[in-house]
Amino acid sequence: MYMVEKLIDDIVKTNSTNYLTEAGKRFVSNIKNKNDIKKLLADNRDFFIKYESSADRMMDDIATVLSDKNLEELAGKLCEDSGYSFKAILIKGLTDCMSEYEIPHEVACLYANRILGAVLHELPQVAPDKYDRYFQSEWRIEQQQAEEQINQKLEKISSQMAVYTAKQMAIYSTDALDLQLKRQTVNPKIGIDFFDIDDDEFINKFNKLKNDEKVCVRARCREEAVYCIINELWKSGEKRPIFVVKSREDWDKLMAVKESGNIYIPWFYADEIVSIENNTNIFVFTDEVPSFSDNEIELRPRTYETIRRALTRAGMGVNEANELVSETHGLYIPMKRRIFNGAFLKKPEWIDGLSVKVKATCLLAGQWTDADGDKAVIEELSGCEYEEFIEQITKYAGGEEPFVYIIGKGSEKQYYLASVQNTWEYLDVQTDSDIWGKFTRASIDVLNESETLFTYTYAERFAARYRGEKLFWSANIRRGMLNTLLIKVLHKDHGDSQVVLDDMVSEILGYVKTEQQWKYISRYFRELCELSPSMVLDRLENEWEKSTGLLQLFDRQSDNFLFERNAYIDILSGVETMLVQKQYAARALEWLLRIDDKSYKYTSNTPESIIHKAICSWINLSAFRTVDEKVNAAKIALKYDRNGWERIYKALPQYDSNIIGNIICPHYREHVTTEWMAKQDIVETAIQYVQLLIKEAHFKPERWEKLLNIADDVPDNIREKLINGMLYEISQMTDEEKIHLKNFIRKIIYKNRYFNTAEWAQPEEIVEQYEKLLDGIHTDTPEYEYEYLFVQENDGVLLNPVETCDNNARHDDNEKQVQAIIADEVTHFKKHNLSVAKLAAICSKEKWTTLGRSLARYWSGVFDEEVFYDLYNAQSLNRTMAIDYCRELAYSGENVYLYIMEIHKKKKLDDEFLVGIYRLEAECSGEDIPQIDKAPEHIKKMFWQQADYYMTSKYIWALGECKKYGNVDVYIKLLYRAMSDKYFGTEQIYDYVVSLKDIDDIRNVSDVSYYLKEILKQMHKKYIDDAVKSYELATVEIRFFGALKWRDMKCFQKIVKADPGNYAELIAITRRKDNDNSEKMLTEEESTYINVMCRLYGEIKFCPAERNGKVIESELRSWIEEFMILLEKNDQKSLFSYYIGKMLSYSPAGKDGYYPCEAVRNVLEDYADDALISGYVTEKYNSRGIYSPSDGRTEKSLAARYKENADYLSTIYPKTAKIYYRLCDRYKYEAKWERERAENGVY
């Protein structure tokens, strides 16, 4: 490893990037002006002179690359990578910022290395003890050598280019190509670094062959491939000059020049091209051109995701990048046409190669499949047989600029225009032509047919696929036709066709008369909204008067996010697109408000979020742009939507969440775009919104509470209006509503005074305003004025707390103040003979109250029967206040249990309350057995059924009672606690575990999964080798397998691995007998039992006769023979091979590290038939489980691993090797399939 790599590796591994950051700061501060940069970068050539005018701006960009934030982000991402990776990314960051100034790549690399070297030279100043050792003579020699290599390369490129120029040869250096490409493209501007190769197999093969004299590369597009190869050579640090030759004549001249040690890439078409000796010649072959090379390597098309990332890296927005890649299918030439800076004059071959009708048919259909209905449409439009049509277009489905793009094979093909927009630039269809008339008629027919397959649930769709049910017309052709109508009328229309389109949409929507038809049409609703917004709005507005099923889409939503789609979301999305169109925004908003007024329960997308965007007060997202327009929209919200007030409130800048997405926009219709509002307009809009909210608060406490939340942020005059308006409305509220607001105001006062040093804390004069507001609110019932003491923490009781501090003593001081206030107020309450019953009734409405606890402390200090009754009667359920009262007294030493039992004799108390008292007594019983032991049977049952938080140390008594009256959940927790406390020996724990089988009440044992696993771990350590006890533990494991994983069921594993009887019995229960095709009617009990057994069967994964990672062959053979006999007895012999294969797939590795182990290999050689191999392969394949797509990389790695395994076994264990060859083939196919899916943008 070089010294620089060692140094950066050290920085990354020791997490010392702060030193590198500091060194970067020192470097930037030392560069005072452009002369300092020139001194660092200039040499005996004139490279820097060309860029001197941009030096200051370039230095700012370099400072950004070396900033704290950027270096910390890089370090976070690469903390586990090598120093070389970190260096490579730093160098790339520096070269990228220089490329903005059109500095050639090779020169930029030289400058980047010098800058990085200068930064690293600052490290000894930052941390001398740590980094001095790196900066000895080796460092200087290494730096000089690295720079000399770059200089030599630059000199060689320069001198050779001078020769080529003198001979007028069209030969380009890679820097020249890079600069040319950047000047050719715009939005985004791309260079050669745009062309990342994401095909690891190609990279590995290419790097092995790149020093050969001839390298043959197969690719879809020559230009894209050339750029990709150059970028890969750059990334790999290629030291040889690279030249691209653009003509055959110049290639012949180049052969005569006889240069050596270069890389040449021919970029022209010729009948034959001869390699130039003593150089590397990289030939790129496109489709249908043979290379006649045994070492040809294929460069696969880049995946959609790779291209998207490259576009966003080049400066394109994420949405724009997604749209461009999807529209061009990731094809380079169609994409290049879209971002080309100038006139692209070269015509595609298909322009002259295809007939007018074939081109027009493809243009109008846009996309289709081999569905029967699609074929009929194609034949109708083209006037020829479908097979003949496909034969014609297939000729132009490949190459650099195809006409159509075909995905899939066989009968599952999908056809797309390679680039819809580019094709429309070349072609058009007149609206008075015969084919246009056929197309519009076919569009109405196709779109009106709401086939049932579109409206199925997930389960129904699954069943339909099983039955072979297919669509007559595909979803592809429907969407393609709609897109054609959009483009034709909104993008290519030379007349007034909107009226025609309105009629079409009106006719299509006229056929929608049921909920199911709305479900179908919702798939294309956004397109219909763009085709004819007015007709769509007419139909939506008609639903208020005469519903045809649209509202049911909102009322009957599915919460199955994975497999079901909610059609209402598409309706909302379509209406949303109209909010950015001036002509339709008001009607669209009114409809959204009216649907929001229905207050449906939503599972995902909501009208609320769209309304928020429409009337947002701090950014213009919709067509409502001015202050007046926004305020008028807010008034409309109040008129039509019962939730309008809340929607306006959330549109304020002061609302907690200012994260907001863009509004969905139409593709082609004219619409407004997002723009930031002027600060003055934001303030004015917010003020008018707040005034509306004050006016429309309508005596609702929760609304005034929200207004108080933002009162700190409004101008003084608005705050005064708010307070006056609140005082007026409060005077007409109920006592309950008044006290709710008083409690809220108390919290505001407390928060601002407790955190008075925080930036957000309000000045004391504003806090005093809140205090005056608090004093101005009075209740008619005096007991309400005491409620705040018992329903809030410190923040609702103290108005003048000790301010926040890290010292816990401050918190204790506040708590003491609170308790003192409560004690004084309780005394005052008692002195004035106020009603405890009324106060208890008031507090009982709160979710949480300390009234019971406080009265126990401060009323009299002893049990007061009257107070108890008041608290008890105030709550009909739970009676927590009465329980709290009793608990506080019990903890202070009062024998509350005796009082309650006496009261219970006089007046029967409810059972749930009594259970609470028994629990309280049990907590305070000390060493004695709790009174619950003497309680009635039904009380005992209630006590132990929900006693999981009652963890007594009287374990023998508690476990015995729990076994009689409780459930498994509580029993297991008690047993776990006893085990943790080491109360029982292992033998006693075992006895209790085995007795779990006898407890019938199993509620939700999955809640105690952890405790059960921990208990079983201890049992396994002690008894796994004890045949009798291991068997007993296995029965417990089976009973509770729902709470255990297979790995936790060690005793059961041991049994089934040693004896096939249990497994054969499971198969007998869950699988049919041979030749038994009868349908049996099962009772509910039988069905439940079989379902449980099926779940258990699904959990079992083992290799017979395996113990501690080893398999004894003789035992394995005995197991297999006995298993065969058992299956024969059960009349299931046909299942033998498959299930043996399934089980043997879980074999451990052999001594040599390859799978399976030697014993299993020997058995496989004797038993392996097609069924066994199938079982083995299927189980091995399925055991992979859920995985994330990786463009086929993971699958390719698995295929290679299985092939290595198979190759190792093939000569000695051919049948076993066959299994792994089959797995290899399966994963090769999977790798290819996954890669194609990524290339086609499936994910």
How confident is the model at residue 9, as a pLDDT?
66
**C-alpha span between 1114 and 364 (Å, rounded):** 71
- The pLDDT averaged over each successive group of 10 residues in the chain (1243 residues) is 62 66 71 60 51 60 64 54 57 70 72 74 69 57 69 78 84 88 86 91 93 92 92 89 90 87 88 89 82 85 91 88 87 84 74 92 92 91 93 86 82 84 84 89 82 50 51 85 83 69 89 90 91 95 94 86 78 96 96 96 91 94 96 96 96 72 86 92 95 95 93 90 92 93 92 87 89 91 94 78 66 85 94 95 92 95 94 92 95 92 93 93 86 93 79 84 88 91 92 86 70 93 92 90 87 90 88 80 76 81 91 95 93 92 95 96 95 94 83 91 96 96 94 86 68
Q: State the CB neighbour count (10 A cutoff) for residue 563.
A: 11
What's the CA dihedral at 644, 646, 647, 650 to 10 degrees?
160
How confident is the model at residue 458, as a pLDDT?
46
Which parts of 546-659 fold into alpha helices (H)? Answer: 550-555, 567-578, 585-597, 607-614, 627-640, 644-650
How confident is the model at residue 1080, as a pLDDT?
74
In this structure, is the dihedral angle defined by the CA atoms of residues 543, 547, 553 and 555, taken in order, positive or negative? Answer: positive
DSSP character for 1220? H
3-state DSSP assignment of residue 748: helix
How confident is the model at residue 405, as a pLDDT?
86
Nearest Cα to Cα of residue 172 among 250, 239, 258, 243: 243
Q: Which pTM value belongs to this model?
A: 0.71
What's the CA dihedral at 616, 621, 622, 624 to 10 degrees?
50
State which amino acid sits at residue 900.
Answer: I
**C-alpha span between 301 and 288 (Å, rounded):** 16
Contacts from 1006-1012 at CB under 8 Å and sequence distance 24+?
A: 1006/1042, 1006/1043, 1007/969, 1008/968, 1008/969, 1008/972, 1008/973, 1008/976, 1008/1043, 1009/1043, 1009/1044, 1011/972, 1011/973, 1011/975, 1011/976, 1012/972, 1012/1040, 1012/1043, 1012/1044
Read off φ and ψ for residue 369, nearest 5 degrees.
-130, -170
3-state DSSP assignment of residue 558: coil
How confident is the model at residue 794, as a pLDDT?
65
CATH number assigned to the domain with residue range 167-316, chosen from the 4 options 2.60.40, 3.40.1440, 3.40.50, 1.10.150: 3.40.50
Judging by DSSP bridges, how do beta strands 263-266 and 280-285 pair with one another?
Answer: parallel
Nearest Cα to Cα of residue 457 among 558, 556, 550: 558
Distances in whole angstroms, Cα of residue 128 to Cα of each of 115, 133, 180: 20, 9, 46
Distances in whole angstroms, Cα of residue 341 to Cα of each of 324, 421, 780, 888, 1027: 16, 17, 78, 81, 81
Residues in contact with 393: Cβ distance below 8 Å, sequence separation at least 6, in sequence order: 354, 358, 362, 403, 404, 415
Read off φ and ψ for residue 240, nearest 5 degrees.
-85, 150
Q: Domain coordinates of the chain in residue numbers?
A: 3-150, 167-316, 347-495, 700-833
Structure tokens at 886: 């009793």
**C-alpha span between 1197 and 1235 (Å, rounded):** 13
Rounded to the nearest 10 degrees, what angle do helices 356-365 and 386-394 cross at? 90
Buried residues in 795-812 as b, exposed as e (16+ CB within 10 A) = bbbbeebbeeeeeeeeee
Nearest Cα to Cα of residue 645 among 702, 721, 717: 702
